[in-house]
Amino acid sequence: MNNTDAFFEKQEEPNKSVFLFLKNFIHQYHSEITLHLKWGLPYFYFKGKPLCYLWKEKKTNEPYLSFAKGPYLHHPALIQGDRKIFKILPINPNQDINLKLIEEILDEAIKLY
């Protein structure tokens, strides 16, 4: 088992299922998206440059997608908060994942590369 797989295996449900689904969905979304473990997190790259990563909120423990180049992404579902470089998309692990929303944000992010 590689380090990336180990990250997903040690997550608790329901976050584990969300992370595994998003890992597969994002990795297969575009042929030039690759997955690496960076700073202990599953990080997706597009054409070798940072695109987004998966993590969970400290207070709520809910998963989110964090997108690089946040200041250049203008989708209303993204949250800037106190972040300077990234914007996040919270994912409720107890609801169906809005794939259309994720596709819209991925498309917008990919256009920046």
Output phi, psi for 30, to 5 deg: -145, 140
Quick: pLDDT tens for 58-102: 999 999 999 999 999 999 999 998 888 999 999 999 999 999 999
d(CA 64, CA 88): 6
- From the list 64, 51, 60, the residue with the least C-alpha distance to 97 is 64
DSSP 8-state secondary structure symbol assigned to residue 81: T
| Residue in the block written with tokens 């992404």 | 73
Quick: pLDDT tens for 1-50: 678 888 999 999 999 999 999 999 999 999 999 999 998 899 999 999 99
Bridge partners for 89 per DSSP: 65
Read off the pTM: 0.91
**pLDDT at res. 1:** 60
**pLDDT at res. 59:** 92
**pLDDT at res. 61:** 93
Tell me which amino acid residue 27 is: H
Which stretches does DSSP call E strand in the chain?
33-38, 41-46, 49-56, 63-67, 87-90
**pLDDT at res. 2:** 75
Hey, what domains does the chain have and what are their CATH numbers? 3-110 (3.90.1150.200)
